[in-house]
Amino acid sequence: MVVWTDEERAAISDIFSKLDYDDVGPKCLSRCLIVYPWTQRYFGAFGNLYNAEAIMNNPLIAKHGTTVLRGLERALKNMDDIKNTYAELSILHSEKLRVDPDNFKLLSDCLTIVIAAKMGTAFTPEYQASFQKFLSVVVSALGRQYH
Amino acid sequence: MSLTAKDKSVVKAFWGKVSGKADVVGAEALGRMLTAYPQTKTYFSKWADLSPGSDPVKKHGAVIMGAIGNAVGLMDNLVGGLSALSDLHAFTLRVDPGNFKILSHNILVTLAIHFPRDFTPEVHIAVDKFLAALSAALADKYR
C-alpha cells in the first residue's frame, strides 16, 4: 500500500485545488501529441492532427484532454486505494483502447510540465516530488490489468 | 530521432533567451532532481548539503548548464564535441546513463517554470530531442 505523508497529501490537494481542468487538460494532451508524435496513433478518429497548430486548435483533442484530467480526480478522492479505484480503467486501456502503458508516463511528464508552467515557482521541488509520486501511482495502477 | 535543421535553429533561438539565466536554471534543475528523485543523491555523497539552493548544488548546477550551453554550439557533432566529457562520465564518474534522462526532465520542468510563454510545445520537443542527443553522446564511451 502506498504511504502518503501529510505534506504530500497537502501538496497534491493544493495543486488540484488550483487546477483549471478546461485549460490544463487540453494543453497537456496536445503537448503530449506534439512532443511525442507516435502517441497520435490512438487518435485516428479525432480529425486534423497534421501539425502543432492543428493539434492545439482541435476541439476533440481539447475535450478529451479535459476528460482525461477529470479521470485523475478519482485518484485524488481515493488516494489510499488508487489501485482498485483504477481497476476498471486499466482494463479499458488495455483491452479496448490498447494503449501501450509506456505512454502513460509520457502524458504524466507533459502534465507535470504544463502545471509547472502555470504555477511557476509555487511548484516547488517538494510539490514536484509529491505530484510526481501521485502520478507514478496512477500510472502503475493503470498498467496493472495488462496481461 | 535525429536533430533536424529546424530543431537546431529552434534550440539555438530559445537558448539565446535562456543563457542569461543559465546558472539559476541549472541550480534549480539539479535541486529538483535531488528532491524528486532521491536515488540520484547517491552520486553526491561528498557534499555536506544536498538541499535545493545550497552552495554545492548552485555551483554544480551552473557547471552542468554551462556545459549544456556549450553543447548548443556543438549540435552538428555532439559525439565528437562531448568526447572528453563522455570519458569523464564513463570512466571517472560512472553515472548510470538512465540518470541523464532524469536530469533532462528536471531541466524541462525548470525551463517551463522560468519561460512559461517561450517554452511552447514546439520548443519543448526540440529541446527534449537536443537533451536526448546530448545524453546519448555523453554515454558514447560507456562500453
B39 vs B33: CA distance, rounded Å: 9
Distance of CA B139 to the CA centre of its chain: 13
Q: How far is B76 from chain A (nearest CA, A)?
A: 22
Closest CB to A128 among B32, B121, B124: B32
Report, in this order, helix, strand and coil percent for chain A, each rounded to 5: 80, 0, 20
* A123–B113 C-beta distance less than 8 A: yes
B101 vs B109: CA distance, rounded Å: 12
Q: Is B125 on the interface with A (CB under 8 A)?
A: yes
Q: How far is A11 from chain B (nearest CA, A)?
A: 13
Radius of gyration of chain A (CA): 15
Which residues of A are less than 8 Å from B121 in CB distance? Answer: 30-31, 34-35, 52, 56
* A113–B124 C-beta distance less than 8 A: yes
A3 vs B61: CA distance, rounded Å: 31
What predicted TM-score, i.e. pTM, was given to this entire model? 0.93
A128 vs B104: CA distance, rounded Å: 15
Q: For residue range B62-117, what is the model confidence (pLDDT) as tens digits?
A: 999 999 999 999 999 999 999 999 999 999 999 999 999 999 999 999 999 999 99
> What is the pLDDT averaged over residues A53-63?
97
Who contacts B124 (Cβ-Cβ below 8 Å, separation ≥6)? A31, A34, A35, A113, B108, B112
Q: Which residue has the cell 482525461?
A: A68
Q: For residue range A82-130, what is the model confidence (pLDDT) as tens digits?
A: 999 999 999 999 999 999 999 999 999 999 999 999 999 999 999 999 9
* A56–B36 C-beta distance less than 8 A: no
* A132–B36 C-beta distance less than 8 A: yes
Closest CB to A113 among B35, B112, B122: B112
Average model confidence (pLDDT) for chain B?
A: 96
The ipTM estimated for the assembled molecules is: 0.88
Q: Is B12 on the interface with A (CB under 8 A)?
A: no
Q: What is the largest CA-CA distance in chain B?
A: 43
Which residues of A are less than 8 Å from B105 in CB distance? Answer: 109
DSSP B48-114: S--STT-HHHHHHHHHHHHHHHHHHTTGGGHHHHTHHHHHIIIIII---THHHHHHHHHHHHHHHHH
A8 vs A24: CA distance, rounded Å: 21
